[in-house]
């Protein structure tokens, strides 16, 4: 894990292929840090707990779908 120190209004940039993701420290208030994320629309950005719930739901759906065989002639 890379750990960086940033002050309010400072940012980091992550480059993934052609995509550029910027994460900026928008505000620091007490023990809370507000982050701003700029990313291309095709890259989903979620809080970890939301991401994990999406993954669980996708796994549940994939387990419920029946497997069908394709017949070849």
Whole-structure pTM value? 0.75
Ordered by start, the domain boundaries in the chain are: 11-63
pLDDT (tens digit, 9 = 90+) per residue, 32-62?
A: 999 999 999 999 999 999 999 999 999 999 8
Q: Is the dihedral of CA 21, 26, 30, 32 positive or negative?
A: negative
pLDDT (tens digit, 9 = 90+) per residue, 22-40?
A: 999 999 999 999 999 999 9
On the question of pLDDT at 71 being above 70, the answer is: no
């Amino acid at each position: 894990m890379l750990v960086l120190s940033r002050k309010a209004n400072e940012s980091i940039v992550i480059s993934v292929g052609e995509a550029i993701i910027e994460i900026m420290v928008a505000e620091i208030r007490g023990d809370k840090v507000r982050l701003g994320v700029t990313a291309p629309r095709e890259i989903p950005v979620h809080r970890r707990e939301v991401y994990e719930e999406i993954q669980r739901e996708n796994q549940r759906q994939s387990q419920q779908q029946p497997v069908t065989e394709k017949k070849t002639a």
